[in-house]
Structure 1
């Protein structure tokens, strides 16, 4: 079996790093090939030293690969050159990348979506959403600290005492918890809010204050994500958020909903109440934004507040993000690799595979997606 990794457009991360490749090459029947100049942070020689073939011809790799590992979904052009029966594994965004999914169907390429790996104990090591979200939470606070016009820790000097910066984190999932932990390590005073009361203990264990808002019944779905709020609940949340946002120097919003537009939590009316020079990092900018007026991959100033909408925050720390993502991919690969047939078992009786397998043998087989694409 030949595993192939190719260069991607507008992406600083890479699907495999040399240390992770060594684990794959210990499997009988597996070889790994990468495209020349795969990434600027790792040399071709480093890949070759780890036992990988470095190949100039992209078309040759597309035509001969059995399993393709990507960070993001491949282009339609690349899909059209992949051989029938091969397997593509990536962040696929199947609810929006409909042309690519249909391209897989037409080409007879099987496709696995890393976003759809179930959030179960067994699948934790494969959970790329969580590994990348953790880094996004860290980077969000670092970017905020760089942009902010004040320091994070309290500082006592002969010229006077500087109070700690105030950070407000909206959403206490993986990204939010890492943002809380990072802000606390930098010395800030931190508050956090989440629609799920169950996370209060996690927030307080990190030294932050949990902001309680009575939204009625909210809860979370089977994958551990917060349920979407009703319009009435959103209004109550916005009213409660206004005070915490007005008191904050840095706000980090993390409310993403898979397959849906992100909810607007911070309105322009809330922005008007914030101090000029304060900063918001909107982790949901790529899916519509939690902040009214946020622009994806841009920094805009709204009502005197700098709103940062960089979509690919893990890409800001590409080496560690690549290492974590590569480990996620390898854990998934090794879980399903059949040592006798030297193939990847696309066995839908397995809960993990049933959750993340999108296209198989020309059909969309994922129950959640059949309403969009039809099914077998």
Structure 2
């Protein structure tokens, strides 16, 4: 089997495979070809890939000659692939249904790493977790840079500076890392989450858990938020409004697969925040958790900065690529035999759950359910 790795297009800075993972694949009898300059934005040189055993090619040759093609972003894949090619990346299939249909009709087998089942066995392949961890860390650093005051408490001869008050909406992987990073920087942290089960984790990191009773069960949502009743949403907003006026930094992480992100912060809430405060919205790409969020943009409203950024993992491309490619390697081991040939075992729940299209049709039930209705990205 020949695996091809495409160079991502701006603004994506990560790469699907780092040289050390290429070396591991070569030892598995897999041929690896990479587009020239594939890892430059992640600080991995062409020489490093060549030394690892990869063949450097131009883009057209990589696409044409690969049995399995790796690209993080779906829009990075262009025409010219083999009729029965396998595509693997982070394709967000619920938001890119037409693209998934098109690939299925062309006979491609499509695996989307963001569709990996959230099970114990699949943890080593969970790209959502590995990348969200970085995003939560970076969100706090971005907020600290944007914030007009200190994070930690300072006691000096010139007077005392109180610690920043951070509120985090959502205690998934990104939220938990944001808690830990905020605490390391000396902030006081409060956390909202609709899942009571995360309370212990939140408190173990030194944050206060703010609970709203009556949330819908999110235990099977794969770490995402689920739609809540109108009554719960109103009580949640009331509780957030009560606490947001005392917060200096707010980091939001709530997303619902295939749907617009829930609005948790309204204009009136923002108007009550102290001048110079910062909101970092990690759900910006799916509409954002505030009424004013714009993706890849910082909006100033009532002297509050609302930073919309869903791609913070790509601001640490070297480590983000390393973690992502290790996730990919662990998944490839499931679909590669000892001779280095492709072996698709759809009896495996991870292989089946990650597959979006195969045999000329959409195989994923959730994507199939979206075909007859408009997406809400």
TM-score bin (small chain): over 0.9
Q: Which residue of 1 aligns with 2:138?
A: 139
> How big is each residue's C-alpha offset from its partner over 1:242-272, in whole Å with a ceiling of 9 and x where there is no partner?
1221111100000011111100000001101
Alignment counterpart, residue 367 of structure 1, candidates 362, 365, 368: 365
Q: Which residue of 2 aligns with 1:24?
A: 25
More deviation, 140-149/238-247: 238-247
Provide the C-alpha distance between the structure 2 equivalents of 1:301 and 1:125, rounded to a whole number of angstroms. 39
1:227 shift after superposition: 2.4
TM-score (norm 1): 0.95
Provide the C-alpha distance between the structure 1 equivalents of 2:223 and 2:264, rounded to a whole number of angstroms. 20
Q: Which residue of 2 aligns with 1:43?
A: 45
Q: Which residue of 2 aligns with 1:167?
A: 166
For 1:97-246, list aligned pairs within 5 A: 97-221=96-220, 223-246=222-245
TM-score (norm 2): 0.94
> How big is each residue's C-alpha offset from its partner over 1:271-312, in whole Å with a ceiling of 9 and x where there is no partner?
011001100000001001001111000000122210000221
Q: Which residue of 1 aligns with 2:4?
A: 4
Secondary structure of the residue aligned to 1:300 is strand
Q: 1:105 to 1:203 in 2, by over 3 A?
A: same
Q: 1:216 to 1:45 in 2, by over 3 A?
A: closer
Provide the C-alpha distance between the structure 2 equivalents of 1:165 and 1:63, rounded to a whole number of angstroms. 54
> How big is each residue's C-alpha offset from its partner over 1:207-256, in whole Å with a ceiling of 9 and x where there is no partner?
00111222354443253434221222111111100122111110000001
Q: Which residue of 1 aligns with 2:341?
A: 343
Provide the C-alpha distance between the structure 1 equivalents of 2:69 and 2:48, rounded to a whole number of angstroms. 20
CA contact (8 A) 1:218 1:229 kept: no
Provide the C-alpha distance between the structure 1 equivalents of 2:245 and 2:221, rounded to a whole number of angstroms. 34
Provide the C-alpha distance between the structure 2 equivalents of 1:138 and 1:220, rounded to a whole number of angstroms. 24
Contiguous gaps of at least 5 residues in structure 2: 373-377
Provide the C-alpha distance between the structure 1 equivalents of 2:257 and 2:215, rounded to a whole number of angstroms. 22
Secondary structure of the residue aligned to 2:87 is strand
Secondary structure of the residue aligned to 1:324 is helix
Provide the C-alpha distance between the structure 2 equivalents of 1:222 and 1:308, rounded to a whole number of angstroms. 26
Provide the C-alpha distance between the structure 1 equivalents of 2:317 and 2:106, rounded to a whole number of angstroms. 31
**Paired positions, count:** 369
CA contact (8 A) 1:17 1:323 kept: yes
For 1:267-346, list aligned pairs within 5 A: 267-340=266-339, 342-346=340-344
Provide the C-alpha distance between the structure 2 equivalents of 1:155 and 1:141, rounded to a whole number of angstroms. 19
Q: Which residue of 2 aligns with 1:66?
A: 67
CA contact (8 A) 1:117 1:356 kept: yes
Provide the C-alpha distance between the structure 2 equivalents of 1:372 and 1:306, rounded to a whole number of angstroms. 35
CA contact (8 A) 2:94 2:366 kept: no
Q: Does residue 94 of structure 1 match 2:96?
A: no
CA contact (8 A) 1:220 1:226 kept: no
Structure 1 residue runs of 4+, over 3 Å off?
Answer: 215-219
More deviation, 193-202/217-226: 217-226
Provide the C-alpha distance between the structure 1 equivalents of 2:231 and 2:333, rounded to a whole number of angstroms. 46
Q: 1:222 to 1:283 in 2, by over 3 A?
A: closer
CA contact (8 A) 2:188 2:207 kept: yes
CA contact (8 A) 1:215 1:236 kept: no
1:15 shift after superposition: 0.5
Secondary structure of the residue aligned to 1:338 is coil
Contiguous gaps of at least 5 residues in structure 1: none
Q: RMSD of the alignment, in Å?
A: 1.5
Secondary structure of the residue aligned to 1:370 is helix
Q: Which residue of 1 aligns with 2:375?
A: none
Provide the C-alpha distance between the structure 1 equivalents of 2:49 and 2:112, rounded to a whole number of angstroms. 26
CA contact (8 A) 2:267 2:291 kept: yes
Alignment counterpart, residue 357 of structure 1, candidates 350, 355, 368: 355
1:347 shift after superposition: 2.2
